[in-house]
Structure formats: structure tokens, C-alpha cells
Structure 1
């Protein structure tokens, strides 16, 4: 065991870019509330980098999450495992939970703590996209016979061998994390295979987490003087009376968190599509096209960072193409209606409805369908009315219009038509000042008849 000051020097040796040891070190507190997604992973990565550059003594992650995306979870765990600074994950406040992905993060941390009245577990993976990829971490081969039996059972229950493989992969990963931190590996595996959960008191009793604390000041008090393993080095935390600095997410992270909500991404997609449609129908309007373009680009960015079903995305692109085609090839709404149906079907398939915190709202889908159908009906109605409207331009538009004779001689003369003088031919008994009706047009000559 060495003192925490020596540990601080060891951090410097781990990275030649770290600043020299400072006596006035601080504690960083990160807050993970809600579903774990791309924005959460970026937030953690940024703050861990900042903590290293400022030679922070301890990072506390206060967590309350239902779970989230496995890709984002892995990124966070990689940051924790690579951190030269002790990381304490704290499930708080009372009533909070570390479900699904939160359980993995808790197991990966140097110190795992919970408030009374909290719980963790239910870590069975939700398959989001395609075949499962290997989760990061040491290779493990836990109890082969039990794994084979569990794979068979999972295949029967899930009807899919891929599900069994994903569960085995996740179980091996969380077990490796438990062994790395010296925590209860047997229960960790049951949290994956059986979706087991534990309250805070039981978690401490079963060595799933290290301790319970009422709040962050209480946690710091309990951790002061505690030994923590950082790689091959054991350090003693000397954090009493150190300032606590709350690390707020940047505006970019907050924006990313908003637009990577599948519901917001779908709304942005719809605003983008209909904004461009309005611009196509009314060239030069500018505002609909501007708003539509920005919304569509933001939606595409969200789709780029979220795991999506490519069949759903293809249907949405097909729908957008058909809707845009309606503006150039009028089909009295047939193309537009088909595009709307394809777009909605694609939106339904685009995201996994079971991913914790990333569910697509059914009321939103219904509202999207109603709005889309209403707009298509409006466009169809406008097209029919335009088709039935009397001709307002061209030769045919002049027929039946009343004009006044300005000059007349024999069977021809000059008439006033919409403030212009036109040559006209007609009956011989016409006189200047008389009102007549346009019966037709031959080039630049109007043919008139008596009223």
C-alpha cells in the first residue's frame, strides 16, 4: 500500500501529458439520469478526459437509469476500465435504480455504492440490431456445461439461437467484470440469465456492491481512507475536505441527448419531409425548405448514432421518394398515399420497441399517421379543386368575358379587354360604347357576339 500522494504521482507516470501533482485536488461528480445512449457516452468520455487533465482525486458517477443501448454502455465501461483515477458509481437518490446497462457499469467501477431504497439487476440484454458483437473485456469461459444448458433453454424460450448467444456473451462479460473487481460473480450471471434484481441492503450483504451511503457527502466520508486498486497499484483515498465539483453536460451533449430520442428523431424526420414537400409545391417560399432541410439533417444525424433496422430505414426512404414524386408527377394522391404508408411502416420498424428508455411512442406513431393522412387528403382535395376550377389563363379564359367597343367599322373594330385595346371582328350593327361578349379568339383577334 502506498499513500494517495504516491498514487497521484503514479497517475502522472501513466500518462506523460498529465500535470504534476497538486495538493488542492478535487472530486468530480457526473450525473447519469435516464436512458444510457450516445449522448451519455460522450458526456462521460469528455468529463473523464477533463478529470485526467485536472489531476482529480476521485470521479463519482451518480446514476439512476433503466438501461439503454449496449454500444453506449460498452463505451462508458471502457472509459472506467482505462481510467487512472478511481471511479465510484453511486446509485442515488432513494428510489433510483441501476437496471440493465446500469448493472454492468456498477460492476465495472472501482467502487460500487447504493443509497437505501434503490435496486439493481435485470441485466438480460435486449437485442437491438443484427448478430451480437463481442462485448469488451477479458475472455471468459464460465461453467461450460451450465452455459450449454442455458443456451438450449434460451433458444427454446426465445426461439432463436442468436438470443442464446447474446445472453451467453453478456453473462461471460459481466462475470469477468465481477472477477476483476472481486464481487459476486454468481449473482451477476443470474442477473443476465434470469433477469434477477436486488435491493441495496441485499446487494451489500451478497457482495454485489461495496457499501451503502445516504448521499454524496456521506459516500465521501465512507470512502475516505479506503484502499482502491488502480491496475496493479493499491492506493488509499485521502479525500476528506476536498471540494466537490458537479460536472454539467455541455450544450452539445444536451442537444445530442434530445435529438437521439427516437421519438424526437421521428418528429424531425416528419418535419423535414413535409417542409421539403411544401417547398416543392411552392418554390421560393424558402422558410419551409429551410426548416425542412435542417430538421432532416438533424434526424439523419440521430439515425447515424442510433442502432436502426435497415429495412425500416429503406421503407422510410422509399416513402419519402414517393411523397416527393407526388409533387412532380401529380397522381391525385396515389403516390403520396403510398409514400405515407411506406414511411409509417418504416418508422414502426426503424427502432427496437423494447430497448429500455428508447421506446417509440405508439401515440406518436398514431398522431403521425393521422397528420400524414390529413395532409395527403388536403393535397388531394387541392388537386381536385384546381382541376375543376375555371380556366384563368390562355385563350379559353377569355371566352364569355364582357368587353366594350371602342371603335367599330363594318364587321371589325377595336374593343377594350382588361384595359388593353384588342382588334375584334363580329356583327356589322355594333357601335362604339356598346358592351359585347367574347365568343373566341383567333391569334390576336377577338371574335365577339352581341349580348
Structure 2
């Protein structure tokens, strides 16, 4: 009887304990339904599309995956940029299993339009535009036919990827396509407004803000996270800009050239090294430069320092410059592009150096760089004493002057030279000019009057 009572008490205790623990478990771990709440990550796609943006987007998408994002929204406002960077970003998007939506807040032009077409959905804000995706070279001219053909095929593939009519994507990059009903007759590139994009099914919706975007996507209760560009990524985006790279390289090379022609280490050298450090570490933050390029840069820097402080025949300087250029090529995302940037920098540096040495070489701090001192008689630099007191004195030649020879003046024998003609031995001469050891004489013609 006691055993049965004990069992009953234990059973009642376990039931009460279970009833007590269930609410605690729910409180501690949350409702199981909370695991079903969508998690949205916002990634800004702003300013110029370049390799720094590619590195940022790669990190952001990887982090969103790790933290369980269910949706990624690209908040886009870009005028376009580098084709190679846009292609790599598109590849990252295509390899991501998480749905990616583009919210065009203002502009999705050129490379931005291409990136947007690779995403699962496009939502545009009122007044936003998308298109005008012709590929141009660094000089602002239309790219060659081969590049144009490649870009058109990429635009077509991006449109077809999510079931969009490819004709409009091609019209964004090819002015030969005639679409006057959309404001793009032959000769003009297509740029869609938000309403036009909705009509041709290039945009799934028009939304003014994030709330409306989430309402359309059915994600009203989503947990939202913002990805922010870190300081190092901001540096990387700045440094990898196609316009900034040749400027940095020009400053770096010009600073080193000026430093090689000035004693010690001063402002030009500091300026050049700072520019090159910014280039290398910016590319390292962007993920393009490895330690091998940094090591080459350090070796080149040390060799240049040796050349500056221990002047030689320029061997250390040339080796240092070669090591730095090798490091640049290893740090580049495109060897061909980097060669062009280096060539531009060398031309700019040469022109600037010539201009500085010609017009500012004798002014201000440039006096320390360009050596303009001279050894003149006025400053006491005399190889031989000038016998000015001899000018006008008369003497007699001891030897014929052809045109040099010897003569005697006041019982002093001197080496002299005639003005150019022959003077015979025993002739009367007069000193007309002296400069150092040089004594120039001429023959004196004596007149003899005859008495009749």
C-alpha cells in the first residue's frame, strides 16, 4: 500500500514538474513559430561599381548566409562602373541560394542595370530609372566590336535568367534597336522609368520605402539587418576606382623621382610612399593583393632608401622601382589594366617632373632639389693667379711664337701666346690680355723716321 502511494506521489510530481518546465522552455527558447520569421538583410549598392564593391558584396552575402538570412535586398543607386566587377558580382548573385531582390531607390544605370537583371525580383521607387548600359572604354569612347558583342550576350543572358524579355535589355546596350514607344528610337539607348519597367515586366512592383517593399514581398514581420561598409572597405572602394588608381600611381612615382634628385628624405618621398602604401593596402583590403605583393613593395622601398641615402650608380633605385612595379602587377585585378595605369602614371610623372624642374627649379624648396651652384672667379675658385698687372707691358720674344712661345718682361721669363699670327724671335711685343696662366700678346711695330 505504501509502495503504491509512493508511486502515485512520484507520478503526480513528474506531471507537475513537466507542466512547470514547458512554459519555462518556451520562455527561454522562444516560440517555435519564431523560427519561421523571415530574416532580411539590406545591402547598399551605391556609387561606382568597382572591385571594392565586389569585395563588400561578397562579404555581405556570405555573412547573410551564415546568419540565416531568408531574403537579401540590394538597395541600389549607382551610375554604373567596371564591366569586370559587375560580371563578378553577377556570378556571386547567381551562386547564392537565398532569394535576392533589387530595390532601385534612384538609379540602376549601366553595370547597375546588369546587376539588377541578375536578381530574382526588381522593385523600383517612384522616379527611379534603369538602363543605358552601353559599354565604353577608359577614354569614354564606345568599346570595340568584340567587347560589345560579349556585353550584349551578357545582357541577354541576365534578362533570360529570370524570364524577362531580352529585347529591352539589349536596347539598353545597343542603340541600333528601335523602341520609340519607350522613348528610345534608333540611335538612343533605352532607359526605363519605374512605370515603364512595370509595364514591360522588368519591375515587379513600385514601392516608396522599405515598408512597402516588405509588404509586397509578404515579409511584414521580417527581422531586418543592415550591412554597412567598413572603414577598410571604404578605403578599398576608393583606391580601386579606375580614376583613382592612375592618380595614386602618378603621385607615388613623381614623389620618388623628386626624392631621388634631392639629398636625404623629405616631403616628395613621404608623399610618394604614402600614395603607394594607400594603393597596396587598399588592394589588400579589397582582396586583390596578397602578401607576396606587399613583400615586393617593401623590398622595393628598402632598395630606393638605399639609393637615396647611399648614392651609387642607380642600380638600387632601378631594382627598387622594378620590385614596386612587380608588386603592383601582382596586386592588380587585371594585368592589362594595371599596365595601362602604370604607363599613364609614368607619362604624367615625366611631364610633371619636366615642368617642375624647368619653372620651379630655382624657387622655394626646389632649390634643394636642383643643384645650380657654380665655381666662379668671383667666389674665389681660381685655378691660376691672373697677372693683370702685365697688361700693357712691353717685352721681347725669346723664341718664335707659333702662336705660343717664351718672352721676357722686365727680366722675367713668361710663357705667352700671340693673338693668332706668327711673331719672330727678338720681336717687341705687348701684353693685351691675361686670364689665369694665359698671357696674350701682340707684336709692336716701331716707326723709324729718316732725316733727309
Give the TM-score category using the shorter length: 0.5 to 0.7
Match of 2:241 among 240, 261, 265: 261
**Residues 235, 282 of structure 2: 8 Å contact kept:** no
Question: What residue is the counterpart of 1:168 in the other structure?
Answer: 149
CA displacement, residues 232-276 of structure 1 (integer Å, 9 cap, x when unaligned): xxxxxxx32223221111222100112223443344333323432
Evaluate the alpha carbon distance shift between residue 125 and residue 302 of structure 1 in structure 2; reply closer, same or farther with a 3 A threshold.
Answer: farther
| Matching residue of 1:103 | 113
The structure 2 residue matched to 1:36, chosen from 32, 35, 49, is 49
Tell me the distance in 2 between the aligned counterparts of 1:163 and 1:276.
36
Alpha-carbon distance change, 165 to 285 in structure 1, aligned in 2, over 3 angstroms:
closer
Q: Which gives a bigger RCO, structure 1 or 2 (Cα 8 Å, sep 6+)?
A: 1
Q: Which residue of 1 aligns with 2:191?
A: 197
Across the aligned residues of Structure 1 and Structure 2, the Cα RMSD in angstroms comes to 4.3
Q: What is the Cα deviation at residue 167 of structure 1?
A: 2.6
Aligned mate of 1:294, from 230, 251, 274 = 274
> Which of 179, 182, 186 does residue 160 from structure 2 map onto?
179
| Contact in 1 for aligned 2:43/2:72 (Cα 8 Å) | yes
Q: Helix, strand or coil: the match of 2:144?
A: helix
Distance, in Å, in 1 between the alignment partners of 2:385 and 2:275 is 47
1:113 matched to 2:123? The reply is yes
Q: Which residue of 2 aligns with 1:78?
A: 91
Matches within 5 A, 1:6-155: 22-23=35-36, 26-92=39-105, 96-127=106-137
Asked if the contact 1:22/1:55 (under 8 Å) is kept, the reply is: no
- The answer to whether the 8 Å contact 1:266/1:299 transfers is no
Q: Give the match's secondary structure for 1:386.
A: coil
With over 3 angstroms needed to count, the CA separation of the structure-2 counterparts of 1:56 and 1:262, relative to structure 1, is same
Shift of residue 76, structure 1, vs aligned partner: 0.8
- Matches for 1:222-301 after TM superposition, within 5 Å: 222-224=216-218, 239-285=219-265, 288-299=268-279
Change over 3 Å in CA distance of 1:166–1:274 after alignment to 2: closer
Give 1:174 shift. Answer: 1.9
**Deviation digits for residues 340-386 of structure 1, max 9, x if unmatched?**
xxxxxxx9x946xxxxxxxx9xxxx9999678613543236744732
In 2, the alpha carbon distance for the partners of 1:33 and 1:275 equals 33
With over 3 angstroms needed to count, the CA separation of the structure-2 counterparts of 1:65 and 1:388, relative to structure 1, is: farther
Residue matched to 2:372: 385
Please, which runs of 5 or more residues in structure 1 have no aligned partner? 1-20, 130-156, 225-238, 306-320, 331-346, 352-359, 401-439, 441-451
TM-score by length of 1: 0.54
Contact 1:119 1:197 in 2 (8 A): yes
Shift of 1:127: 4.2
Deviation digits for residues 96-133 of structure 1, max 9, x if unmatched?
Answer: 2111111111110011111110111111222459xxxx
Provide the secondary structure at the position in 1 that maps to 2:372: helix
Distance 2:99 2:40 in 1: 10
Task: Supply the distance in 1 between the matched residues of 2:215 and 2:68 (Cα, whole angstroms).
Answer: 20
Q: CA deviation at 1:57?
A: 1.4
Structure 1 CA distance for aligned equivalents of residues 84 and 245 of structure 2? 19
For the 8 Å contact 2:254–2:353, the answer to whether it is kept is no
**Does the 8 Å CA contact 1:29/1:61 hold for their aligned counterparts?**
yes
8 A contact 2:109–2:130 mirrored in 1: yes
* Cα deviation, residue 301, structure 1: 7.2
TM-score (norm 2): 0.54
1:166 to partner: Cα distance? 2.6
What's the offset of the Cα at 1:392?
7.4
